[in-house]
Amino acid sequence: MGDVRQIRVLEVSGSARERGRQHGEGARDLIAASLAYYAEALTQQTGLTWNQITDSVSKWLPISEQLAPHLVEEMRGIAEGAGISFAEVLTLNVRGEFVYDSRVSGSSARDSALEHDEERDAVDGCTSFFLTGAASGTGHTLVGQNWDWRTLTADTTLVIRIVQDPLPTVVMQVEAGQVGRHGANSAGIALNANGLGGSFGDTIGLPQTLIRRLVLDQSNLAGALNTLVKTRPHIASNALLAHKSGYAIDVETTPDGVDWIYPDDHGVIAHANHFQASVPPQLAGRYRPVSADSLLRLPRVRARLAEVADAKDDAESVARVKAAMSDHLGYPEGVCTHPDPGAPRLRQWSTLLSSCVDLTTGVYRIAAGFPCETDYEALPWSLYDGPGEAPRNP
């Protein structure tokens, strides 16, 4: 275990329970900090006690055990390793779904403006990208994103490498205690995701952390796409699925269906936090983007990413990606989002980290914090290192 800037880097292996225990032990302090934040933020936001919150998330356990039993087992191991309850680990993994449900169940008592403000608090705000062929300047396939979420969770983020033979080895950036979020695997499959918002009823669906990990657990592209398209989520989310071959598809998933976008003629996909393929019919006539700045970020990042095609080598290609993901139009919000000092402390929002993954070479780069201030640094292993190999210096 080591550190890339402020982000802890952790490798786990063995059975699902053993992997979870290693995660819990290796990130015990980060998990404690995350629980302390959500205990304060979610109780303030919902008016429920922490015990009421952790009791209520049990409704996601049956579907999780049915569709992802190995990940439930991994969560049980995290609880053991961190010395906390399983219910608390489950809460960390369903925090978006919980906020969505608390908003939907109480919406009749709220005015629409407050309801929409709370909708943003249910989803991560992110800007994702895919570049392949001439679009990357080098012919490589690059994927990544700025991960925007609540500012006070920044110090609880973790990069984890999960060796789980015979499944692919997975590298992800997560909040400590979560079993899935954004990342890539040794089969050359990458998944980046963005929250979308919108109300789709209260039928229980699979939490996003589990869906995303199930996608990255796949050893072939068809299996990953099938998992993404056929699994009913609890909340709407955008998923940018990419492969080392240069293939990519962006899938806007909702509890009631999916729509999709392919790369443009230049080999580019960019996505933010509003529906781009189509507005679901359930939201027609009343749709408002969960983050208004998403409408600003998308054309801005597209224009800046177009400059990557002029790169002459890998270093310049990554530098141009960094420049695109550092854009400040709309400051403090924008592609690179900084906290608004006028916002309530618990609900301040900013870019937690930025990633740039080369699916051609397997180099996984992270800029810890704001990409405008932090260089992309290679993690200590390639995606394509063997599952039994020790981490190496980049």
Instruction: Tell me the pLDDT of the chain averaged across its residues.
Output: 92
pLDDT at 102: 83
Checking if the pLDDT of 393 tops 50, the result is no
The reported pTM is 0.93
pLDDT at 122: 58
Domain boundaries, the chain: 2-12+123-378
Mean pLDDT (whole number) for 64-74 = 98
With H, G, I as helix, E, B as strand and everything else as coil, classify residue 296: helix
Q: Which residues contact 13 (CB under 8 A, 6 or more apart)?
A: 19, 22, 162, 163, 164, 387
Checking if the pLDDT of 2 tops 80, the result is no
Cβ pair 272, 127 in contact under 8 A: yes
Tens-place pLDDT, residues 308-327: 999 999 999 999 999 999 99
Q: What is the layout of strands, in order, in the sheet containing 139-150?
A: 268-271, 125-133, 139-150, 349-358, 364-368, 377-378
Task: Give residue 378's Cα distance to chain centre.
Answer: 19
Mean pLDDT (whole number) for 341-368 = 96
DSSP state at residue 45: H
Tens-place pLDDT, residues 148-207: 999 999 999 999 999 999 999 999 999 999 999 999 999 999 999 999 989 898 889 999
Distance, CA of 158 to CA of 138 (rounded, Å): 30
Tens-place pLDDT, residues 111-152: 444 444 555 565 677 999 999 999 999 999 999 999 999 999
User: How far apart, in Å, are the Cα atoms of 278 and each of 58, 76, 238, 251, 285?
Assistant: 33, 39, 12, 11, 13
Checking if the pLDDT of 93 tops 80, the result is yes
pLDDT at 202: 82
DSSP secondary structure string for all residues of 187-235:
TSEEEEEEE------S---B-HHHHHHHHHT-SSHHHHHHHHHHSPBSS
Q: Which residues contact 28 (CB under 8 A, 6 or more apart)?
A: 81, 82, 83
Q: In percent, how much of the chain has pLDDT > 70?
A: 91
Distance, CA of 355 to CA of 168 (rounded, Å): 20
Confidence of residue 6 (pLDDT cuts 50, 70, 90): confident
User: How far apart, in Å, are the Cα atoms of 1 and each of 12, 15, 216, 387?
Assistant: 10, 19, 22, 16
Confidence of residue 387 (pLDDT cuts 50, 70, 90): low
pLDDT at 117: 53
Mean pLDDT (whole number) for 266-281 = 97
pLDDT at 120: 56
What's the CA dihedral at 201, 205, 208, 211 to 10 degrees? -150
pLDDT at 123: 67
Which CATH number is associated with domain 2-12+123-378? 3.60.60.10
pLDDT at 114: 43
Tens-place pLDDT, residues 8-28: 999 999 999 999 999 999 999
